[in-house]
Chain A
Amino acid sequence: MIGAPGRRGPGQRVIDSLPLAVAIALLAGALFVVWEAQGFRLGARLFPVYVGTATALLAAIEVAAQIMARLRPPATPREEEPATADFVADETERTPAFYARGLLYFGWILGLYALTALLGFFYAVPLWVLALLRLQFRAAWLPSFGLALALVGMIYALQVLLMLRWPRGLLPLPF
C-alpha cells in the first residue's frame, strides 16, 4: 500500500523529501541573492540584502524544523487549521503515479513549445491538439479534428480582431 509505514517505494520517498528539497533550494536561493547583491550600488543593494537575509533565516528554520520532524515524528498528528491560503492537494494526489501523470502533461506542454519553435504557433496548435487528443486520450477523430480546426479559427480571429501576435517557428511558413 502506498504510504504505509516501512513499505515506501523510492518514488514515495522522493515525494516525501520534496518539501525539504524546496526549503533547501529557498535557503540556497536567498543566500545567493544576498551574496550577489554585494556588488550592487547602495540604493539597489539594501532591499535585496535585507529581504534575502530574512528569507534565508526563515528558510534555515524551516529546514531545521523539517529535519527535526523527520528524526522525531510527532506521536499524534498535528491538527491542521482550515487551509485558506491555497488549494490543498488531497492524499490521493500525493502518489508517485499522480506525480508521473502531472509531469507527463508538463511534457505535453513542452511538446507544444517544441512544435511552435519549429513550425510557429499557428501550425503547431492543430498538430499538437490532434496528437494530444488522439495519442493521449484516445478521443474520436471527429471531435479531435473539430477542436483543432476551431482553435485555428480562434487564434486567427484573435489575431485579426485583437491584433494578438503569436510566436514564429524556424521554418519559413506563412503566418
Chain B
Amino acid sequence: MLDALVNGLFILLDPFRLAMLFAGVVIGIAVGILPGLGGLMGMALVLPFLFGMDSYAGIAMLIGIAAAVPSADTFPSVLMGIPGSSGSQATIMDGYPMARQGQAARALGAAFSASMIGGIIGALALTALVPFARPIVLAFGTPELFMLTLLGLSMIGVLAGSRPLRGILAAGAGVLIGTIGGAPVAAEYRFTYGELYLYDGISLVILALGLFALPEIVDLLARGGTIAEKRPGLGGGWLQGVRDTVRHKWLVLRHSLIGILIGFIPGMGSSIIDWLNYGYVVQTSRDRSRFGKGDVRGVIAPESANNAKEGGVLMPTLLFGVPGSSAMALFLGALLIFGIQPGPALLRDDLDLVFVIIWSLALGNIFGTLLCLLLSRPIAALTFVPFHFVAPVVIVIVVLGAFQETRHWGDLVMLFTFGLLGWTMKRIGMPRPPLLIGFILSGLAERYLWMSYNLYDWDWIWRPMVLAIFALMVVLMTGGILLKRRQRREQAAPAEE
C-alpha cells in the first residue's frame, strides 16, 4: 500500500497532470463564486473535453473542481449572504454577519484555512479507511438512512431558537414543498396540475437562491449604503481568520470527522452535512450568544466539514460504484469514460489510481485554499462598494444561475416566488433554514421510510444502528435543553448576587 501511495504522488507530479489539477481548481473557484453553480455544473462543463485525455490528468482535473468548489462558494456566502452552492448555506449564518461588521477577510481567512485542513483530513481519512470501508458502508441499510434523515430534521429544534414551533412549521412546509413532482415510491405525479415544469419537482438551487439571495439583496438595497456597516479596514484580516482556525483546532478536527462520516453515506448531500454541522456546533457550545451574529465557530465548523466530506463521498463512489453525491455521479461517469470500473476490484487492481485521486484531493484543497486566500482581500473589498452598484451584478448572476436549472421560465417564476416567501419569513421571524432542510430531506425520508417498511415491516425500528442513531438524536436534543438551562442558571446567578 505504501508503494501505491508513493507511486500515486509521482504519477500526479507529472507537469501536465499537475497543470490539469490546477486548471480544475481554477474552474472550481469560478463556478463556486457564481451563486447557483456548483461542483456538478463545473464537472459537467469539462466532461466533454475529457475524451481522449490522459486518464490521470482528466481525473485530477475533476477532483480539482470537486476540491475547490466547497472553498470558493464561501465568497458569496460570506460577502453577500447568498449561498454560493448548496454546501455553503450554513456558512451564511455567521460569515455574513461578520462581513457586515467589517470582518469579511477574517471570516474568509477562517473559512479557507478550515476548509483546507478539513480537505486534507478528508484525504487522510480516505487513505486510512480504504482497507476497512466495506463493512461500514454495508452496515447502513435503508432504516439507518431514514434515521439519519430524522437526525437532520431533529437539528431544526436546535436551530429554531426561542420559537421552535415556527421552525418546525417552516420545516413542515419544506417537506410538503418537497413532495411536489414525481412520487419516489409510486407511479404518480403530485401537485403538478399538468405543468410539465413541476414534474421533476422544485429545484433545490432555485429554492435556496430564492429563500436566501433575493431577500438579502432586497434588504441591502432597502437599507442603502454598503454591505459592511463598519469600516475598520477589512477587519482583523485573513491572518486573524487563520489564527481563529488554529485556536479552534479541535473544532476543525471534530467537524471534519463528522463531515467525512456523513459524506460516507450515499445520498447525504452537502446541504445536510452543512446544516447538521452548524446545528451541532451551536448545540454543543457553552456560549451561544454570538451564533447568528458573527461567531467565527459558526464559519469554521460547517466549512471544515464541507471540504472533509469530499473524502467521505469518494469512499462509496470508488469502493462500490455508488455515487456519494450528485457531483460524484458525474465523476463516476467520467471514470467509466476512461474505462475504469469503480468497485472493490479497483482497490485490488489499480491502487495507484486510488492514490492519485487521494493526492489530487489533498493538493486540490491546498491549491484552492491558497488561491482563495490570495483573492480574499480584493474580493472582500467589494463589501465596501455602495450596494446599488453591486446589486445589479448579483441579481443578474442569480437570475442567470437560476435559469440554468431547466432553462424554463418556470425557474424565474419560482425564484421570484421563493424570494418573496423568504423575505416575508425573514420579516416575521420565521427561520428559513428549517424550510430548506425539510425540503432537502423530504424525498429521502419518504423513500427510506417506504423501503424500510416494505423490507422489514415495523421490525426495522429494533435494528441496533437504528436504535443507536435514535439515542444520538435524544442525546443531542436533551443535551441542548440541559445546556440551555445551565446557561440560564449561570446567567441568573450573578444577577441574584
B176 touches A29 (CB 8 A): yes
Contact of A106 among B45, B298, B423 (CB under 8 A): B423
Complex Cα spacing A61 to B164, Å:
12
Complex Cα spacing A54 to B162, Å:
20
Complex Cα spacing A52 to B160, Å:
20
- Binary interface profile of B, 199-215, with partner A (CB < 8 Å = 1, else 0)? 00000000000000010
Residues of B within 8 Å of A162, CB to CB, are 31, 37, 41, 45
- Binary interface profile of A, 53-70, with partner B (CB < 8 Å = 1, else 0)? 011001101100100000
Complex Cα spacing A19 to B162, Å:
16
Residues of A within 8 Å of B298, CB to CB, are 84
A44 touches B176 (CB 8 A): no
B432 at the interface (CB under 8 A from A): yes
Given the known interface contacts A30-B172, A41-B188, A167-B412, the answer about A88 and B429 at a Cβ–Cβ threshold of 8 Å is yes
Contact of A143 among B288, B389, B450 (CB under 8 A): B389
Residues of A within 8 Å of B404, CB to CB, are 164-165
Residues of A within 8 Å of B423, CB to CB, are 102, 106
B484 at the interface (CB under 8 A from A): yes
Which B133-178 residues have C-beta < 8 A from chain A?
A: 158-162, 165-169, 172-173, 175-176
Residues of A within 8 Å of B400, CB to CB, are 121, 155, 158, 164, 166
Complex Cα spacing A78 to B93, Å:
24
- Within the complex, the shortest CB–CB distance from B198 to chain A, in Å, comes to 14
B195 at the interface (CB under 8 A from A): no
Interface size on A, residues (CB 8 A): 76
B183 at the interface (CB under 8 A from A): yes
Residue of A nearest to B291 (CB): A84
A82 touches B190 (CB 8 A): no
B292 touches A40 (CB 8 A): no
B3 at the interface (CB under 8 A from A): no
Which B406-457 residues have C-beta < 8 A from chain A?
A: 407, 409, 412, 416, 419-420, 423-434, 442, 445-446, 449-450
B97 at the interface (CB under 8 A from A): yes
Contact of B176 among A30, A40, A81, A129 (CB under 8 A): A30
- Within the complex, the shortest CB–CB distance from A47 to chain B, in Å, comes to 4
Complex Cα spacing A25 to B404, Å:
31
Residues of B within 8 Å of A54, CB to CB, are 172
A29 touches B416 (CB 8 A): no
- Within the complex, the shortest CB–CB distance from B346 to chain A, in Å, comes to 31
Given the known interface contacts A18-B428, A19-B428, A105-B221, the answer about A125 and B396 at a Cβ–Cβ threshold of 8 Å is yes
Contact of A151 among B392, B407, B424, B445 (CB under 8 A): B392
Q: How many residue-residue contacts, CB under 8 A, span A and B?
A: 213
A105 touches B388 (CB 8 A): no
Residues of B within 8 Å of A88, CB to CB, are 292, 429
A167 touches B403 (CB 8 A): yes
- Binary interface profile of B, 371-410, with partner A (CB < 8 Å = 1, else 0)? 0000000000000000011011101100110011001010
Complex Cα spacing A24 to B183, Å:
27
B266 at the interface (CB under 8 A from A): no
Given the known interface contacts A58-B169, A105-B218, A105-B221, the answer about A81 and B412 at a Cβ–Cβ threshold of 8 Å is no
B167 touches A85 (CB 8 A): yes
Residue of B nearest to A100 (CB): B222
Residues of A within 8 Å of B185, CB to CB, are 43-44
- Binary interface profile of A, 138-168, with partner B (CB < 8 Å = 1, else 0)? 0100010001000100110010001111110
- Within the complex, the shortest CB–CB distance from B412 to chain A, in Å, comes to 6
- Within the complex, the shortest CB–CB distance from A2 to chain B, in Å, comes to 15
Interface core residue of B214, B395, B449 (most chain A CB under 10 Å): B395
B412 touches A113 (CB 8 A): yes
Interface core residue of B160, B393, B396 (most chain A CB under 10 Å): B396
- Binary interface profile of B, 219-260, with partner A (CB < 8 Å = 1, else 0)? 101110000000000000000000000000000000000000
A62 touches B166 (CB 8 A): yes
A42 at the interface (CB under 8 A from B): yes
Contact of B161 among A23, A82, A94 (CB under 8 A): A82
Residue of B nearest to A33 (CB): B176
Contact of B97 among A87, A112, A165 (CB under 8 A): A87
B81 at the interface (CB under 8 A from A): yes
Complex Cα spacing A166 to B393, Å:
15
A133 touches B173 (CB 8 A): no
B186 touches A42 (CB 8 A): yes
Contact of A40 among B161, B188, B399 (CB under 8 A): B188
Which residues does A use to contact B, with CB under 8 Å?
Answer: 15, 18-19, 22-23, 26, 29-30, 33, 36-37, 40-44, 46-48, 51-52, 54-55, 58-59, 61-62, 65, 78-89, 93-94, 98-99, 101-102, 104-106, 109-110, 112-113, 116-117, 121, 125, 128-129, 132-133, 136-137, 139, 143, 147, 151, 154-155, 158, 162-167
With A82-B290, A109-B399, A133-B389 known, 8 other A-B pairs at CB within 8 A are A47-B450, A82-B161, A85-B160, A89-B426, A98-B222, A116-B412, A147-B393, A167-B403
Which residues does B use to contact A, with CB under 8 Å?
Answer: 31, 37, 41, 45, 81, 93, 96-97, 158-162, 165-169, 172-173, 175-176, 179, 183, 185-188, 190-191, 214, 217-219, 221-223, 282, 288-293, 298, 388-389, 391-393, 395-396, 399-400, 403-404, 407, 409, 412, 416, 419-420, 423-434, 442, 445-446, 449-450, 484
6 contacts between A and B (CB under 8 A): A51-B176, A84-B292, A105-B222, A106-B214, A113-B416, A167-B409
Query: Lowest 6 CB-CB distances: which A-B pairs, in order?
Result: A43-B186, A55-B172, A85-B431, A44-B183, A81-B162, A44-B188
